[in-house]
Amino acid sequence: MPGARDQLRAWIDADEARVTAFLSGFLQAKSPNPPGDTREACAFVTRFLDQEGLPWRIVAAQDHLPNIVASLHAPQPGRHLVLNGHMDVFPAIQDLPGERGQWSGAVEDGRIYGRGAADMKCGTTASIFTFLYLSRLAPELRGRLTLTIVSDEETGGRWGTKHLFESCPDDVLGDCCLNGEPSGVATVRFAEKGTLRIEITIRTTGAHGAYPHLSASAIKIAGSIMRDLETLGEMRPDLPPRIAALLASAEVRAAMEESLGAGAPAIVGIPTVNIGTIRGGLKINVLPDECVMEVEVRVPPGLDRTQVMAAFEAILARYPEATFETRPDHSYDSSWCDPDGEMATILQDNVEALRGVRPPAIVSLGGSDARYWRWRGIPAYLYGPSPRSMGRRDEHVTIGEMMHVLRVHALSAFDYLTR
């Protein structure tokens, strides 16, 4: 299909200004989660689909959490590829006077700014335009292409991708999933860590600050627990030898450093602990009688979440003043698929053709909705922009990176559906 593939490349090359404008407008459509209301972003996307004459429908368990599903059936039988992206973004932050607003969608110096630019409205934009371009080439394709643009990813996916699996499985199961979550263009991701989220509450009798002999300090106990939780990082996974060898290779470690930052290879195979929030204390001269902290443990593939939970409970048992509750809606197992699978190879081939460097397959430090496919034995791969700015003030993607991700997604989807 060289003619059709060349046409696909030509459309993408001609559409840079259009794709840039779309992502800018998408970023202006506020969708922070929490609270998670994505109706404004959903309306922006569906208006675009309507303008292009593309059929779509909404699948939602709650009105403020819509999910968009669109399907394309090729005239020839073949495989089913699912494109998956999300509309919700990290919670809003306070805009500072004189600085670029988080919902600006500003296009400056080759960059597009806005909350959710990297995570993951750039990748979702790639999915939408991939679906658009391949719909024009439907006579050349085999099988089926489904676009899923979901809500609720940032808080676990219960009302997003998980709801689609429960309510319309034929639309979303497929034979493979391609996702544009921020991965860094130097890597393809075939696996990701799981999470264990827990709220710990420490209670003591408390006292006046001048009388520390009368009560233990809830905040000091919290500090001791934090120190002890770091020992979870001494646990080691039991990975299949092929994956263990892959992650130990010099090439993969160098690519992880480039995409994820210095030090990433040292933590990809161990549990990591983050104290996300901590609340305690009434006044500087009052001994705190309560402290609450939210803890997240990222669990690598090859290490069962129940093993980590048992080690966590053993640590908490040393502190009778502490109780805990798990957060089941956003605690989940790690996931992985074949690092040498067909779509992984297709992605690598296209990246190598475009950048001159072949991206190795790595494990993601963060989570994504791709796990819902992997848990069912369906291969799911991530290829997206740099994760460096996601969730930060002045989150952004470069126009060059955005267009590269779109090219890789569109060409890889075309290649998969023409074999």
Cα dihedral 243/245/250/255 (nearest 10): 0
Strand order in the sheet with 111-113: 107-108, 111-113, 396-398
| Residues 379, 338 contacting (CB under 8 angstroms) | yes
Strands 335-336 and 207-208: unpaired
Q: What pLDDT shows up at residue 183? A: 86
Query: How many Cβ atoms from other residues are within 10 Å of residue 240's Cβ?
Result: 11
Ranges assigned E (strand) in 207-266: 207-208
| Residues 130, 143 contacting (CB under 8 angstroms) | no
Query: How many Cβ atoms from other residues are within 10 Å of residue 352's Cβ?
Result: 12
> What would the pLDDT profile of 384-395 be if each residue is shown by its tens digit?
999 989 989 999
Q: ω into residue 34 within 30 of 0, thus cis? A: yes
Q: Please name each of the domains of the chain with its CATH number.
A: 2-192+335-416 (3.40.630.10), 194-235+270-330 (3.30.70.360)
| Residues 415, 348 contacting (CB under 8 angstroms) | no
Q: What pLDDT shows up at residue 90? A: 95
| Residues 325, 224 contacting (CB under 8 angstroms) | no
What does each C-alpha distance from 247 to 20, 299, 315, 363 come to in angstroms? 35, 16, 30, 8
In one letter, which amino acid is 154? Answer: E
Query: How many Cβ atoms from other residues are within 10 Å of residue 167's Cβ?
Result: 14
Q: What pLDDT shows up at residue 312? A: 97
Is 50 exposed, middle or buried (CB count within 10 Å of its CB: 0-12, 13-18, 19+)? exposed
Q: What pLDDT shows up at residue 259? A: 83
Q: What pLDDT shows up at residue 261? A: 85
Tell me how far apart the alpha carbons of residues 43 and 52 are, in angstroms, rounded to a whole number.
Answer: 14
Tell me how far apart the alpha carbons of residues 5 and 252 are, in angstroms, rounded to a whole number.
Answer: 30
Q: Can you state the angle between helices 39-51 and 122-136, rounded to 10 degrees? A: 20
List the pLDDT tens digit at each of the 419 positions of the chain: 569 999 999 999 999 999 999 999 999 999 999 999 999 999 999 999 999 999 999 999 999 999 999 999 999 999 999 999 999 999 999 998 888 999 999 999 999 999 999 999 999 999 999 999 999 999 999 999 999 999 999 999 999 999 999 999 999 999 999 999 998 999 999 999 999 999 999 999 999 999 999 999 999 999 999 999 999 999 999 988 888 888 889 999 998 888 888 899 999 999 999 999 999 999 999 999 999 999 999 999 999 999 999 999 999 999 999 999 998 878 999 999 999 999 999 999 999 999 999 999 999 998 999 999 999 999 999 999 999 899 899 999 999 999 999 999 999 999 999 99
What does each C-alpha distance from 411 to 33, 178, 418 come to in angstroms? 32, 12, 11
Q: Which two tokens stand for residue 311?
A: 């080690």
Question: What DSSP assignment string belongs to 250-292?
Answer: HHHHHHHHHHH-TTHHHHTTS-EEEEEEEEE-S-TTEE-SEEE
Q: What pLDDT shows up at residue 187? A: 94
pTM of the full structure? 0.93
Tell me how far apart the alpha carbons of residues 294 and 296 are, in angstroms, rounded to a whole number.
Answer: 7
Buried b (16+ CB within 10 A) or exposed e, 6-41: eebeebbeebeeebbebbbbbbbbbbbbeebbbbeb
Q: What pLDDT shows up at residue 83? A: 98
